[in-house]
Amino acid sequence: MAGRRRASGSGVVVLCLLLVALVACGGRAPADTARADVQRVLDRRAEAIVGHDEPAFLKTGARDWFGNLRAVPLAAWTYRVTALHRTGDTATAEADLRYRVRGYDKAPVTAGRTLTLSLDAGGQWYVEAERPAEKSAEQLWDQGEVTAVRGEESLVLGVGQSAESLRGYAELAHRAVPAVSETWGTEWARHVVVLVPESLEAMAGLLGSPASSYRGIAAVTTGETGAQADAPADRIIVNPDAYGVLGRVGKQVVLTHETTHVATRADTSAATPLWLSEGYADWVGYLGTGRSPSQAAPELGRAVREGRLPATLPSDADFGFTGDATRLALAYEGGWMACRMIADRWGEVRLGEFYRAVGAHEKRAGVVEGALKDVLGTTPADFTARWRAYLRAQLG
């Protein structure tokens, strides 16, 4: 019995020695290195993208949309793997993509990405495909080859658009930027990034929303309110379907309007009502066009003439893109007329001061009332009464 015990004990020792590379006796298996290995592959992939190095990119995965990025001036591009789901020789990685456009983004744009990978014959991870993560918006290069046009104050990036067409947007930006600076001041970037996708559906893809949300909307500007100076540049995203039917003046008004949002972003906060932010952008957009109130506010003019004078300033809910088109038009026109009235009654400088006074706060409660008192010397009731009288006088 004793001999058998010694043989058994020796066998245990031998077994431990044989398995030491895999499992320490009484310990746990070492962590799977797949996630770290995938991260290293994505690091090489990112370096190849910034350097526009196609051979290096192909060593990390399929060509995919690499060629679509050729014209985009990238300053930085990185991935951070946030999750990895492996099944044998295949895996799906969730990652945060962070990239900067040279000369425009002072901080990275962040986008969620999903990558499918497989192990090649040499045991290295290989990216089979990359796409926007679930609930994440598309990037322009996901939609096709990007054409880039540089203006004096703009970078215009388009898919499915001719260079000549994109130069038209750059010319509009060339007029919009100084027009905005003349009214708002020069303490902003004074250049814009304009994205021109191929269709309304493609625009919606860039915004991560249904196309129905933007039907009839010529352009929108993306960016965080109250953004600091080191934030990524706002993107003006055009709806080519709606923008294309506008006349020369209308196109200029729209791009100047959106450029105004870029300029005022740092002074716009949750306290800023949409009638003020949208109304101010329209006020800047229409300056110098010669458009009268009846021409620029047809729906509101019709309502006033029919005895449907608004009782209150437009609410934020009135500006919903998915609501009634007439209601939306009345909201924009009402906000514009309110800002136009402030400029006429108190002066353009005071209008800018009022905007900044409201945006200097983080919460809405009592802020507009306080700015009306401190900057304009009036009350909400008096201001609303003046606005209604102004509508009658200008549109009646």
Instruction: Find where tokens 């009646």 sit.
Output: 396
And the tokens for 237? 């995203």
Which pLDDT score, from 0 to 100, does residue 288 have? 93
Name every residue whose Cβ is closer than 8 Å to that of residue 31 and which is 6 or more positions away in sequence. none
**pLDDT score recorded for residue 10:** 42
What whole-number distance in Å separates Cα of residue 95 and Cα of residue 41? 12
Tell me the pLDDT tens digit for each residue of 108-133. 999 999 999 999 999 999 999 999 99
pLDDT at 6 over 50: no
DSSP structure string for 59-114: TTB--TTGGGGTTS-EEEEEEEEEEEEEETTEEEEEEEEEEEETTT-SS-EEEEEE
Please give the pLDDT value at position 225.
63
On the question of pLDDT at 383 being above 80, the answer is: yes
pLDDT at 324 (0 to 100): 83
Confidence of residue 223 (pLDDT cuts 50, 70, 90): confident
* pLDDT at 173 exceeding the cut of 60: yes
Given pLDDT bands bounded at 50, 70 and 90, which one contains residue 48? very high
Q: Kindly indicate the confidence band of residue 14, based on its pLDDT and cuts at 50, 70 and 90.
A: very low
Greatest mean pLDDT among 23-27, 222-226, 311-315: 311-315
Burial environment of residue 158 by CB neighbours within 10 A (0 to 12, 13 to 18, 19 or more)? buried
Domain ranges of the chain: 34-136, 140-263, 268-396
Distance set, CA 295 to CA 92, 299, 333, 348 (Å): 55, 10, 11, 21
Give the DSSP H/E element, type plus range, for residue 4.
helix 2-19
Per-residue pLDDT at 229: 60
pLDDT the model gives residue 9: 45
What is residue 278's three-state secondary structure?
helix
Inform me whether the pLDDT recorded for 245 exceeds 90. Answer: yes
Q: How confident is the model at residue 321 (pLDDT cuts 50, 70, 90)?
A: confident
pLDDT at site 17 = 34
User: Cα–Cα distance between 393 and 396 in angstroms, integer?
Assistant: 6
Structure tokens at 182: 């003349």
What b-and-e string marks burial along 356-366, b requiring 16 or more CB atoms within 10 Å of the CB? bbbbebeeeee
Q: Are 249 and 289 contacting, i.e. CB atoms less than 8 angstroms apart?
A: yes
Which whole number is the average pLDDT over 250-267? 97
Name which of 171, 141, 129 is nearest 154 in CA terms.
171
Residue-wise pLDDT tens digits, 288-311: 999 999 999 999 999 999 999 999
On the 0-12 / 13-18 / 19+ scale of CB atoms within 10 A, 60 is buried
Residue range 34-136, CATH number: 3.10.450.50
Range 73-76 contact pairs with CB under 8 angstroms and sequence separation of 24 or more: 73/101, 73/102, 73/103, 73/148, 73/155, 74/49, 74/50, 74/99, 74/100, 74/101, 74/102, 75/50, 75/100, 75/101, 75/102, 75/103, 75/105, 76/50, 76/100, 76/108
Question: What's residue 230's pLDDT?
Answer: 65
Band of pLDDT at residue 227, cut at 50, 70 and 90 = low
pLDDT at 7 (0 to 100)? 41
275-to-39, 140, 279, 339 alpha-carbon distances in Å: 46, 31, 5, 9
Q: What is the pLDDT of residue 68?
A: 97
Over 90: is that where the pLDDT of 353 sits?
yes
Which residues, including other chains, have CB under 8 Å from residue 239's CB and lie 6 or more apart?
200, 203, 214, 217, 218, 219, 220
Which of the pair, 45 or 233, is modelled with greater confidence? 45
Tell me what pLDDT residue 1 has. Answer: 42
Mean per-residue pLDDT over the chain, rounded: 91
Whether CATH 3.30.2010.30 fits 140-263: yes
How long is the chain?
396
How far is 114 from 132, CA to CA, in rounded Å? 6
State residue 322's pLDDT score.
Answer: 76
Asked which of 34-38, 79-83, 100-104, 319-323 is least confident by mean pLDDT, the reply is 319-323
**For residue 21, what are the contacts with CB-CB under 8 A and spacing of at least 6?**
none
Q: Is the pLDDT of residue 287 over 70?
A: yes
For residue 22, pLDDT over 90 is answered with no
Q: Please, where are the H alpha helices in 137-162?
A: none
Percent of the chain exceeding pLDDT 90 equals: 86
Amino acid at 340: R
- Residue 366 pLDDT greater than 50, yes or no: yes
Q: Which of the four pLDDT bands, split at 50, 70 and 90, describes residue 210?
A: very high
